């Protein structure tokens, strides 16, 4: 099976702009989670979607949002970008109905200037 | 509030030696404890995981030891190889949200 794919891999945006990141989970996986990775804060949970519904949400401001489509693909949106949003954004998928193994994609490296 | 504490921050081990990374957690509701390995420019890769009903799990050169009463778990890498040089993260979860440790940068020297 193909792994989790994320697009784009790299992105440079200007402060105040918005950005949309995309994630395609492993075939058959219905749960998609998003994480932010920074040198200072480490890996932090953003939110998780299952069957197009947000099941869990981390402690991030409302500028961070997401959605999931009927084919389980997910998008994450960040509006009004701030310099501190520069990070590696990781998507992880799992079957969703049994087991807890989450498999991560390669991430999208977002740089805000 | 950091719920998973990981140590050491960095570790240098000679080739063939044993690498040991430790984690401690606070939330007794956690019921799943995975370890991830991350190489530069890559996403974390699931290495091995354990549930609190067992005290040890071994897969190849990798072993998790789990102490429920002390709320601690550790990763042991036997016969460490240069290819094991990476950053290792412990994590804990109850449900879908993974709470990660701060990571350990492991370097294996010849």
Mean pLDDT calculated for residue range B85-99: 92
Percent of chain B surpassing pLDDT 70: 98
Q: How far apart are CA A6 and CA B33, in angstroms?
A: 25
Instruction: Quote the DSSP letter at residue A84.
Output: G
**B23 part of contact set with chain A, CB < 8 Å:** no
Distance from CA of A35 to the nearest CA of B (A): 9
Kindly report the nearest CA distance between residue B50 and chain A, in angstroms.
10
Chain B contact for A56 (CB, 8 A cutoff): yes
Q: Starting at the edge strand that comes first in sequence, how are the strands of the sheet with A74-78 ordered?
A: A5-7, A19-24, A74-78, A64-68
Which one of B57, B97, B101, B102 makes the best mutation probe of the A interface by having the most chain A beta carbons within 10 Å?
B97
Note whether A102 contacts B32, CB cutoff 8 Å: no
Measure the CA dihedral A58/A60/A63/A68, to 10°.
-20
Q: Which long-range contacts (CB under 8 A, 24 or more apart) does B48-56 make?
A: B48/B75, B49/A100, B49/A101
Q: What angle do CA B83, A4, B5 make, to 5 degrees?
A: 60
Best mutation target among A51, A104, A108 (most B Cβ atoms within 10 Å) is A104
d(CA B32, CA B53): 10
A99: confidence class by pLDDT, cuts 50, 70, 90: low
Q: What percent of chain A has pLDDT over 70?
A: 96
Count CB atoms within 10 A of the CB of residue B46.
16
Q: Considering only the beta carbons, identify the residue of B42, B96, B99 that sits closest to A33.
A: B96
φ, ψ dihedrals at A3, nearest 5°: -85, -170
pLDDT tens track for A23-66? 999 999 999 999 999 998 899 999 999 999 999 899 999 999 99
3-state secondary structure of B8: coil
Answer whether B40 touches A (CB < 8 Å): no
Contact A25, A72 (CB under 8 A): yes
CA distance A24 to chain B (A): 14
Three-state DSSP state, A65? strand
Which tens digits make up the pLDDT trace of B16-49? 999 999 999 999 999 999 999 999 989 999 999 9
Helix (H) or strand (E) holding B46: strand B45-50
Confidence (pLDDT) at A96: 76
The confidence band for B105, taking pLDDT boundaries of 50, 70 and 90, is very high
Q: How many CA atoms lie within 13 A of B94 on its CB side?
A: 8
Q: Chain A: nearest CA to B93, how far in angstroms?
A: 9
Q: Does A39 touch chain B (CB under 8 A)?
A: no
pLDDT the model gives residue A101: 87
């Amino acid at each position: 099976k193909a792994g989790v794919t994320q697009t784009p891999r790299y992105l440079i945006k200007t402060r105040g702009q918005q950005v949309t990141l995309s994630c395609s989970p492993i075939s058959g996986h219905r749960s998609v989670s998003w994480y932010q990775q920074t040198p200072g804060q480490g890996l932090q949970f953003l939110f998780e979607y299952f069957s197009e519904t947000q099941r869990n949400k981390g402690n991030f401001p409302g500028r961070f949002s997401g959605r999931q489509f009927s084919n389980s693909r997910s998008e994450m949106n960040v509006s009004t970008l701030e310099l501190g949003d520069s990070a590696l954004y990781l998507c992880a998928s799992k079957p969703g109905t049994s087991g807890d193994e989450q498999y991560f994609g390669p991430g999208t490296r977002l740089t805000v200037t | 509030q950091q719920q998973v504490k990981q140590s050491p921050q960095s570790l240098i081990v000679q080739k063939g030696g044993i690498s040991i990374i430790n984690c401690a957690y606070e939330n007794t509701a956690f019921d799943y404890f995975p370890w991830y390995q991350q190489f530069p420019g890559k996403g974390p890769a699931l290495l091995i995981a354990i549930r609190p009903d067992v005290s040890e799990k071994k897969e190849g050169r990798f072993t998790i030891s789990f102490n429920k009463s002390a709320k601690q778990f550790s990763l042991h890498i036997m016969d460490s190889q240069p290819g094991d040089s990476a950053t290792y993260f412990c994590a804990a979860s109850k449900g879908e949200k993974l709470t990660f440790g701060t990571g350990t940068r492991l370097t294996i020297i010849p």
